[in-house]
Amino acid sequence: MNNFENCLLYNRGASGPSYFRELIIKDVVKKSTIDCYAIEDINNIKYYLSTKNYIKYAIFHKRKIYRKSELFDIFDEYSFLVINTIYDSIKRRNGILNKHISKYFHIYLNKSIDYYLWLKSNVKVNNSKIILEDWHYLENTILFIYLNRDCSNNTVFGCFGNGYLKLSDLNNYKKNDGPYDTEFTITGEKLLSSEKYKIDIQQFYIDRFKRKGDWTSNNILMDEEDEKQQTKGKRDVKEKLIICINSISDSYFHIQERLFNSEEEWLIFTINILLENNTPFRIKLHPQAKAYGEYEYCLKILRELGVIDRLVDKMGLSHLTDLYYMPITNKGTVFQERTANKLDSIVAVPRIIDIDRSLKFRTVYDYALELKNISSTLNVTNEMSLLAKSDFFLLEYYFNIFKYFQMNDDMGVNQRNLEINLNWANTAYQKLRNNKNGYQELCDSMQQLFFGKDNFLFQTKLINEYQ
Query: Are 221 and 157 members of one domain?
Result: no
Beta bridge partners of 283: 243, 311
Query: Are 100 and 21 members of one domain?
Result: yes
pLDDT for res 88: 77
pLDDT tens for the chain, 467 residues long, are 899 999 999 998 778 888 999 999 999 998 888 999 999 999 889 888 888 888 877 655 555 556 778 889 999 888 888 887 888 777 766 555 566 777 888 888 989 999 999 999 999 999 999 999 877 788 998 999 999 899 999 999 988 878 899 987 776 665 555 566 678 878 888 899 999 999 999 999 888 877 666 666 777 777 777 777 666 555 578 899 999 998 877 666 556 667 887 788 899 999 999 999 999 999 999 888 887 778 888 999 999 999 999 999 878 888 888 899 999 999 878 999 999 999 999 999 877 766 555 667 788 999 999 999 999 988 888 888 998 999 889 988 898 898 888 766 555 544 567 788 888 889 999 999 999 999 999 999 999 999 999 999 999 999 999 98
Query: Are 36 and 96 members of one domain?
Result: yes
Q: In this structure, is the dihedral angle defined by the CA atoms of residues 9, 14, 20 and 23, taken in order, positive or negative?
A: positive
Query: Are 256 and 368 members of one domain?
Result: yes
Beta bridge partners of 157: 131, 166
Q: In this structure, is the dihedral angle defined by the CA atoms of residues 431, 445, 183 and 156, taken in order, positive or negative?
A: positive
User: Do residues 246 and 332 lie in contact, with contact meaning Cβ atoms separated by under 8 Å?
Assistant: yes
Residue 467 domain-assigned? no
pLDDT for res 215: 63
Q: How much is the pTM?
A: 0.84
Query: Are 88 and 148 members of one domain?
Result: yes
Alpha-carbon distance of 404 to 393, in angstroms, equals: 15
Query: Are 236 and 280 members of one domain?
Result: yes
Instruction: Determine which helix (DSSP H) or strand (DSSP E) holds 125, and give its type and residue range.
Output: strand 123-126
Residue 45 domain-assigned? yes
Query: Are 149 and 259 members of one domain?
Result: no
Alpha-carbon distance of 311 to 307, in angstroms, equals: 7
Alpha helices in 262-332 (DSSP H): 263-276, 295-304, 318-321
Sheet with 155-160: list strands edge to edge.
Answer: 35-38, 7-10, 129-132, 155-160, 163-166
**How far does CA 459 lie from the centroid of its chain?**
20
User: Do residues 434 and 405 lie in contact, with contact meaning Cβ atoms separated by under 8 Å?
Assistant: yes
Residue 24 domain-assigned? yes
Domain endpoint, select from 135, 166, 181: 181
Alpha-carbon distance of 458 to 465, in angstroms, equals: 10
Alpha-carbon distance of 314 to 326, in angstroms, equals: 17
Instruction: Determine which helix (DSSP H) or strand (DSSP E) holds 171, and give its type and residue range.
Output: helix 171-174
Query: Are 177 and 219 members of one domain?
Result: no
Residue 13 domain-assigned? yes
pLDDT for res 360: 73
Domain endpoint, select from 136, 161, 181: 181
Alpha-carbon distance of 424 to 126, in angstroms, equals: 34
Beta bridge partners of 9: 37, 130
User: Do residues 38 and 162 lie in contact, with contact meaning Cβ atoms separated by under 8 Å?
Assistant: no
**How far does CA 113 lie from the centroid of its chain?**
25
Residue 192 domain-assigned? no
Query: Are 108 and 247 members of one domain?
Result: no
Residue 49 domain-assigned? yes
Query: Are 94 and 18 members of one domain?
Result: yes
Query: Are 172 and 260 members of one domain?
Result: no
**Quick one: DSSP state of residue 396?**
I
Instruction: Determine which helix (DSSP H) or strand (DSSP E) holds 318, and give its type and residue range.
Output: helix 318-321
| pLDDT tens by residue, 173-182 | 655 555 666 7
* C-beta atoms surrounding 355 within 10 Å: 12
**Quick one: DSSP state of residue 321?**
H
Return the ∠ at Cα 84 (arms to 82 and 86), rounded to 5°. 70
pLDDT for res 402: 87
Residue 273 domain-assigned? yes
Query: Are 165 and 277 members of one domain?
Result: no
For the chain, the domain total comes to: 2
**How far does CA 222 lie from the centroid of its chain?**
23
Domain endpoint, select from 181, 203, 224: 181
Residue 301 domain-assigned? yes
What count of residues does the chain have? 467
Residue 167's domain comprises 2-181
